[in-house]
Amino acid sequence: MTSRDAPRPPPGGRATAAAAATHGRDPRPLVPPPPASRRQVAVPPLRALSYGMAIRKLSSKAQVHLAALDEFSQKIQRVYGLVEQYAAARAGTEVLTMALKRNFAQLKRELMGGGMDQLSQLAGSMEIASTRGTSQQTRTRILREGVGSLKFQIEFEQRLTVINDLAEQERAAEEKLEAENKPQP
Assigned domain for 40 exists: no
**CATH at residue 171:** 1.20.120
**DSSP structure class, residue 49:** E
Query: How does pLDDT run across 4-57, given as a tens digit for each residue?
Result: 555 555 555 555 555 555 555 555 555 555 555 444 444 455 444 444 434 568
In a domain, 87, yes or no: yes
**Does residue 174 form part of some domain?**
yes
Mean pLDDT of 75-98: 92
Range of the domain at 104: 57-181
* Position 2 in a domain: no
For 160-174, the pLDDT digits (tens) are 999 999 999 889 888
Q: Is residue 5 part of a domain?
A: no
Domain count, the chain: 1
Instruction: For 9, list phi and psi in degrees, rounded to 5.
Output: -70, 155
Residue 56, beta-bridge partner list? 49
* Residue 70 included in any domain: yes
Helices (H), 57-115: 60-88, 93-113
Q: Tell me if 113 is assigned to some domain.
A: yes
Mean residue pLDDT across the chain: 79
Contact status, residue 158 vs residue 64, Cβ threshold 8 Å:
no
Taking the C-alpha atoms of residue 40 and residue 135, their distance in angstroms, rounded to an integer, is: 31
Single-letter amino acid code for the residue at 121? Q
Residue 152, domain member (yes or no): yes
Q: What is the pTM of this model?
A: 0.64
